[in-house]
Copies of this chain bind each other. A is one copy, B any other.
Amino acid sequence: MEKTEKVGSYEFLAEPFHCDFNKRITMGHLGNHLLNAADFHAEARGFGMLYLSSISRSWVLSRLAVEMDETPRAYDRFTVETWVESAMRYFTSRNFAVVNAAGKPIGYGRSVWAMIDTETRQPVNILEVNDGALSGYVDAEKACPIAKSSRVKMSETAAFVREIATGYSDIDVNGHVNSIKYIEHVLDLFSLSFYETHRLRRFEIAYVVETRCGEQLRFYREETEPDTFCVRICKLPVGADEEIEVCRCQLVFEKS
């Protein structure tokens, strides 16, 4: 692949231990592949995580939405295409297409990213990085026919459904709860018998603040429409008595 292509394509395998009891890759592992594809694409074009760490910068994932018509089965090979849809000073949108081995798109993703200075933790101007490397790769034409993420509306009366302690496996290379682990914890709020009759069609998450190891996570859930659930995750900082929202999700299921 030439570095100058706007769209990057990366092949993945739905590994058997990444699949659920329906023999389909879980949304967490699929999300991880999308984020890997994003990083491979960015690295090859001069604005990946490895390069950024050398200049004390880092991408921060703000939103991720994934919508699948069909979820890859165990051992399926699939391709993740990814491209930058738009770029502003403080936010950039990156889209994804998941294409099966026959070349048919089976799902799409949308993501929004900010960039921070890893020393000050303050936002920095994305367009200034590496002489504006990113700007040259914007592809506003390629179709991504799923809804954009929107502010997930939840009432204050969403039911408290679980509290968990965060541990070693939750924590990423930056010392915060791993973006993918939140997805896994949210998926675990639904019973196996629910998954026997429902397929997760769309998953959307907005990250608000970071969680550190040892902080408790509290999950609140609300069914806002039939088979559509919103989940608010809050943390209780060590020693604090008031909780803070760390992220908010929406899950759209369909009867299977």
Contacts and interface: CB of A to CB of B under 8 A. Distances in A.
Nearest to A35: B17
A96 to B, nearest CB: 15
Interface centre among A26, A28, A169, A195 (most CB of B within 10 A): A169
A114 to B, nearest CB: 17
A180 interface: yes
A23 B53 CA distance: 13
Instruction: Tell me the number of copies of this protein.
Output: 2
A39 B16 contact: yes
A168 B195 contact: yes
A20 B35 CA distance: 17
Contact of A192 (B50, B168, B192): B168
Given A75-B50, A213-B192, A21 B171 contact: yes
Contacts of A125: none
Interface residues of A, number: 38
Given A192-B214, A214-B192, A173 B20 contact: yes
A32 interface: yes
A253 to B, nearest CB: 13
Interface of A: 15-21, 23, 26, 28, 32, 35-36, 39, 49-50, 74-75, 167-169, 171-175, 178-180, 184, 187-188, 190-192, 195, 213-214
The 6 closest A-B pairs by CB, nearest first: A167-B188, A192-B213, A169-B184, A23-B173, A21-B171, A21-B175
